[in-house]
Structure 1
């Protein structure tokens, strides 16, 4: 097959960020710094950066943090985390932006959560390279962008971009009414969930790409939306009786009467049946499900209304939930359309390494402590008009 490549060069691409002031936090207030993070927050103004020195021998700052300003938190020692033994609460307000990097709360009882309400605008929370007990930012008018984090419990947010995280389960979740709508989708790319990845909100289109997890649960949908579950690997090595099917659509509460579309494509799946041996189950006729080019190690069984094509069952594949790999007959089994081609420009491999959002983008073998790209969306084909590329990155 002849392939035409579009080569683009970006030169002089750089960015700088200016902060109003830098406030330092060090053990016992060394060098005139603040001795607690809370004291620095009290003294700070919107737009300031708080630079925190990790204590020696893994000692923690023992305090509960309440963040009520637009602030950025970073480690004073590059790539090393500072430990906080206590909860982290972010007060919501219109236009507030809170960025937290390199925070470790893994030995705390409480997780990171939001309080109050953002009225007349949105709050944006950025969590980068953190180790956390849990994340619960499910309040309305809140965007949470999370990347490179390890969350021992649930990672739950109402809107945002979630890339390269590991959590016990990941849910886009909100039952509060959004009054200041974001213009972007809810995107979950390249994550590890040791349980489910779910959508339980009716306000935003969702895109779940290139994740490694045990199941997908769709409990909410935005009316008129076109949603995607594409190029994921689903591996369930033990029976789980609380999951109806590997891909389950069962709307409830404020989504019961909503109508929308869901594409399930290019996924590689193996599971031990629990209460059901169903691969894809749609319990709502008002959700139009299209399933294609999915490969299952199990017999391919569906339930409910859906449009099906080119799905395969009883396929020989090998799954590893330690190395997070899938090999075998998933290779070149995905949709052959050029817009789904792999990074090497061959046909799509079903599973989390396939397509342009490949797992390899988010989990490099060794980045050498360098800055990491955590979001990059580029078109695979260009016909005419404006070329739109979206991307971001962060330094660990």
Structure 2
């Protein structure tokens, strides 16, 4: 006997996608809590010590608390909305998935969309700040060009985010927003948000790879790896958000129910990416204001060490030995020249014959 509900396979796939997305959101929220705890412990220890208390530490503590609140609101409201579809209104015509897509404008769901947008704004702003830090030692024209393009796209993302929130809060809206009577801001907003992330990612990755090339050229492949390793590049550039954003946008464009899974988890992933950057900064492994200067100093020290070793070698060798060695070289050169000259004369005589 089959207990399968009287629903089509498409309806069941959509319901499965929503339920799996809710579960994965809970998993991601657990990661957020772990990172928040680690960041707050480190920041609080710095703030309590007068010698390490700085404005940046206080600001980062405030930043971590705010995005932790956003992550909590997102998890609670998203879980409540999925519960409304699967439990409280399970007999809605078309099943739970139909309820979720039709009643997308209920307060619980709108309250879960707001943290997604705010977390994206906070994350992209943090990325832009990191990009400015990494390019701080460049020329003014370069810094302006680096900040201008992502900054303009970020402003467009903020505007589209507001329009998307207005649209999803409308009683006639749905998550797909493909109704013929309205314009869909879902793909536009998340596409522009992805463009901000990708543009800043390319700028940061190119700068890190250039730094890696310079450091490797002077010190070898083993130096500066904590700035330029694969993990460092992924964390510094917040590529994690780009991956999950594509996992949502591609199925969404294909009208695949899998997009509903990644839509729910996208906000938590954005917060995870921001917390990873902050924790890396607190560990002292991230690119800082003095990183280029520090490696230039190291480069100068490396050259001075080599010169000191050469001087020490010359000092340790007696002058008599150096002189004898040079005399032997001169004798060898003279003999070689005489031999070469005799060979040339012999060749000329043979030629005359």
TM-score range, shorter chain: under 0.3
Greater helix content: 2
TM normalised by structure 1 equals 0.18
Which has the greater radius of gyration?
A: 2
Quick one: higher RCO (CA 8 Å, sep 6+), 1 or 2? 2
Greater strand content: 1
TM normalised by structure 2 equals 0.20
